[in-house]
Amino acid sequence: MEGICGRRGDRMIKKWYRVQKLKVIFFLALAVVFTNAVVSYSNTVKLIHNQQWVTSSCQVITQVESIKYTLKDTETAQRNYLITADADDLKTYFAAYRQTKRNIQIVTKLTADNHQKQQWISLLEPKIISRLNILQQEIYLKQNQGFETVRQRILSDKDNQSSQEIQQLIHDSLEVEQNLLQQGMQEALASSQKAIVTFFIAAIVDLVLVGLLYNLLWRYIRHLQQTELALHQSENRLRAMIDAEPECIKLIARDGTLLEINAEGLAIMEVESADALIGKPIDAVIVPEYRAAFANFHKSICQGNKGTLKFEIVGFKGTRRYMETHAVPLLNESDGTFIHLALIRDITQQKQAEQKIREQGLLLDISTEGILVRNIHNQILFWNQGAERLYGWKAEEVVGKNVLQLLYKDISPQLEDAYLKVMNTGEWRGELHQLTKEGKVIIVESRWILIRDDNGQTKSILSVNTEITQQKQLEAQLLRSQRLESIGTLAGGIVHDLNNILSPILMSVQLLQKKLPDSQSQQILQTLENNVKRGANLLKQVLSFARGIEGKRTIVQIQPLMAEMEQIIAQTFPKSIICQVDIPKNLWYVRGDTTQIHQVLINLVVNARDAMPNGGILRIAAENLVIGEHSAQINIDAKVGSYVAIVVTDTGMGMSSEVQERIFEPFFTTKEVGKGTGLGLSTALGIIKNHGGFVNVYSQVGRGTQFTVYLLASTFRDTHSLSLELESVTGDS
């Protein structure tokens, strides 16, 4: 680039020197021509002046000589007349007389601008007039007094003296004038020679300058021809380069007509020759809805601004294309205004690709699955709306952040295996435990796909995550229900056999009590009877869990049961446990067995008490709840309908997820030996299911536990019957 700029600078300097040299030669030639013109003019003026002076001098000499000879002729004619008295001589006299006066007048005019000659004329003219008067007087004397008188006058000295003076003045004047004429002719000759010499010198100088100027002009014209040829070649190369440009190039006049277009532009416009477009309005092919925007854009460019515009055109064969123009103002050297130089690119495929990307983006956004892309450094690059709904973070909150720090508590072996597998095989599928924005742990079914660039290098990882937390919970509930069903069937058979074993033992104890009346035997037998009955009651609880004991179903009001629970807690539980009961007045009724529901509540509050050995808050609440389709799908035991939800919450030690999965199993307990049978919750679950309800558990270690029992609410007909029964009882009383 520096070499190109240097060569361009050298060319500019040479061109400047060449132009300056031509200017110097031109002005020198102009100065020489002007000097020659001045000298020639001066010489010509001198020659003309000398010629006029010589001519004037010749005329003066001629007239003076004419005066001399005319005056002599006058005197001769007068003398002849005096001697002969011939009338012809008198006529000749008068003619010579008049001619003499005319010659004097002519000489006076010719010497009007010469003071010296005027003085000479002023001396000569009176003498000539005086002489003419004398001649006239002699003629008069001849005619009146005779020839003798005239003869004496002629012979007088005065007459001869006057004639001699006149001749002497004329002779002196002619001599002086001839000398001046000779001097003037010599000066004219010298001036002519000088003019000729000057002319030849000027001609030679002019020829030299003309030759030099011709040589420079010839060299300059040759250089111009070479430059024109180089420019023509450069223009051809530039035209070839422009035509080879894969984008359309246009030059647009201020009035919106096309000035130039390259081959790619012709292809885009779908024409064979530029003649079909040159001079035509450029907006003829622009789709009408874009013409106003293009007109404003063109106006801005012609005002000296740069700009970019996207618009749509229709070719001469009907093809629609999306175009993007990058335009700059181009200075018009002739008038200082700007014209429009545009580089136009066909972005039809880009627009179609963008449209496809937008459609795919919409598909990604309406997808319920969380889709995210991360680079090899685990920085998030893409985060769809499904991911926003799944995790709670907006895209602008997570893009650029580390996905491992965002979605995982720690790096588990399963996560490491997933990363290694996707890097080795390009794909991985499996389940992951992830965190939401609120800190909730969710289970997702994740699919990872490795994305590579055109060179095969690892670029990013695409992850598609589907939440299966509810599904896993439903599966756990289903497995637990199946396990409990199997245990219940097994327990039912065992209870039946144990009852068959305990019945003879109890009968035998009762018979022995009648046969052995002593106190020691009675005490032993009573202990044995109590233990047998306790075993029978334990078997009854197991049977109740396994088969579900169908007691007498009535319309049950939950408020009295909850009030009774509050009383039992206040009377029997440690004072370190604070009981809070929330019983709404409009609580719905439940159809079921009051004793069994009472047993469920007793089991729940006792477990809550045992979970708070150091005291805490025990809260019992209830509410009316309608479960819809969505909620019914979440819990496998739930059905669509109205429920009364009883919530028992404690602030005790809580349970781990492993313990929560087994709390409803028969004989499972976390209590010490002798403090629990492990049948309380399993029995409670059996009772709840027999009443058409279900139970949910939420617990965190160190933060307490919450049991929510859902009992199917009674129908309006059952409630109405209960109201009638209550009214009848009230009336009887």
Greater model confidence, 370 or 357: 370
Q: What DSSP assignment string belongs to 2-43?
A: HHHHHHHHHHHHHHHHHHHHHHHHHHHHHHHHHHHHHHHHHH
Cα distance between residue 704 and residue 612, in whole Å = 9
From residue 337, alpha-carbon distances to 3, 63, 259, 261, 327 in Å are 33, 79, 15, 20, 16
Q: At what angle do helices 469-515 and 519-547 cross, to 10 degrees?
A: 150
Closest CA to 382 of 391, 393, 371: 371
pTM higher than 0.85: no
**pLDDT for residue 669:** 76
Lookup result for tokens 């293009």: 294
Look at residue 191 in the predicted model and tell me its pLDDT: 73
The SS3 of residue 380 is: strand
* Range among 134-148, 172-186, 394-408 with highest mean pLDDT value: 394-408
Check residue 4 and give its pLDDT.
Answer: 40
Average pLDDT over residues 220-237: 79
- Res 195 pLDDT > 90: no
pLDDT at position 492: 67
Residues 723 and 557: beta-carbon distance below 8 Å: no
Q: Are 450 and 436 in contact (CB under 8 A)?
A: no
Q: How far apart are the first and last CA of the chain?
A: 118
The strand pairing partners of 427, in sequence order, are 449
Tens digits of residue pLDDT in 578-589: 999 998 888 999
> Per mean pLDDT, which range of 86-90, 156-160, 628-632 is the poorest?
156-160
596 vs 711: CA distance, rounded Å: 12
Mean pLDDT of the chain, nearest integer:
79
CA distance 691 to 710: 9
User: Residue 116's pLDDT band (boundaries 50, 70, 90)?
Assistant: low
Question: Beta-carbon neighbour count of residue 599 at 10 Å?
Answer: 17
Q: What percent of the chain has pLDDT over 90?
A: 11
**pLDDT per position as a tens digit, 42-94:** 777 777 777 666 777 777 777 777 777 777 777 787 778 777 777 777 777 78
Q: Could you tell me which residues are beta bridge partners of residue 380? A: 374
Q: Which residue has the higher pLDDT, 479 or 283?
A: 283
Q: Quick one: pLDDT at residue 305?
A: 92
Q: What is the spatial distance between Cα 601 and Cα 583, in angstroms, rounded to a whole number? A: 14
For residue 291, give both structure tokens. Answer: 């013409």
Most confident residue range from 215-224, 457-466, 499-508, 640-649: 640-649
Residues, the chain, total?
A: 733
Residue 3's pLDDT band, with cuts at 50, 70 and 90, is very low
DSSP state of 281: B
String of DSSP letters for 594-628? HHHHHHHHHHHHHHHHHT-TT-EEEEEEEEEEEE-
Chain position carrying tokens 């009992």:
711
Residue pLDDT, tens place only, 520-536: 888 888 878 777 775 67
pLDDT: which is higher, 711 or 135: 711
Q: Give pLDDT, residue 616.
A: 93
Helix or strand run (H / E) with residue 650: strand 641-650
Among 156-160, 454-458, 654-658, the range with the most confident prediction by mean pLDDT is 654-658
The 10s digit of each residue's pLDDT in 402-434 is 988 888 888 888 888 888 888 888 899 988 888
Look at residue 659 and tell me whether its pLDDT is greater than 50: yes
Averaged pLDDT for residues 452-470: 85
Q: Mean pLDDT across the stretch 579-607?
A: 88
Reported for 73-77, long-range contacts at CB under 8 A and 24+ positions apart, including other chains, are 74/100, 74/132, 74/135, 75/135, 75/163
Q: Note the pLDDT of residue 92.
A: 77
Distance CA(626)–CA(632), nearest Å, equals: 10
Q: Residue 709, class by beta-carbon neighbours within 10 Å (0-12 exposed, 13-18 middle, 19+ buried)?
A: buried
**Higher-pLDDT residue of 129, 606:** 606
Return the SS3 of 241.
helix
The CA distance from 76 to 656, in Å, is 180
HSE at residue 671, side-chain half, CA atoms within 13 A, is 20
20-29, 298-307, 626-635 — most confident range:
298-307
| CA separation for the pair 360, 513 (Å, rounded) | 87
Q: CA 723, CA 729: separation in Å to the nearest integer?
A: 10
Tell me: the pLDDT tens digits for 663-713? Answer: 887 777 777 655 566 677 878 888 888 888 899 999 999 899 999 999 999
**Rounded distance between C-alpha atoms, residue 46 and residue 690, angstroms:** 152
Residue 1: pLDDT band with limits 50, 70, 90:
very low
Helix (H) or strand (E) holding 505: helix 469-515
- For 248, the 3-state DSSP assignment is strand
- Tokens found for residue 710: 């859902």
Other Cβ atoms within 10 Å of 727 Cβ, number: 10
How far apart (Å, rounded) are the C-alpha atoms in residues 402 and 372?
12
CB atoms under 10 Å from CB of 469, counted, come to: 15
- pLDDT at residue 260, as a whole number: 87
- When mean pLDDT is compared across 12-16, 74-78, 369-373, the lowest value belongs to 12-16
pLDDT, tens only, 242-282: 667 778 888 889 898 988 888 888 888 888 888 888 888 98
From the list 611, 614, 619, 606, the residue with the least C-alpha distance to 573 is 606
> Is the separation of the CB atoms in 707 and 697 below 8 Å?
yes
Would you call 124 helix, strand, or coil by DSSP? Answer: helix
Q: Count how many Cα atoms sit within 13 Å of the Cα of residue 183 in the half-sphere of its side chain.
A: 7
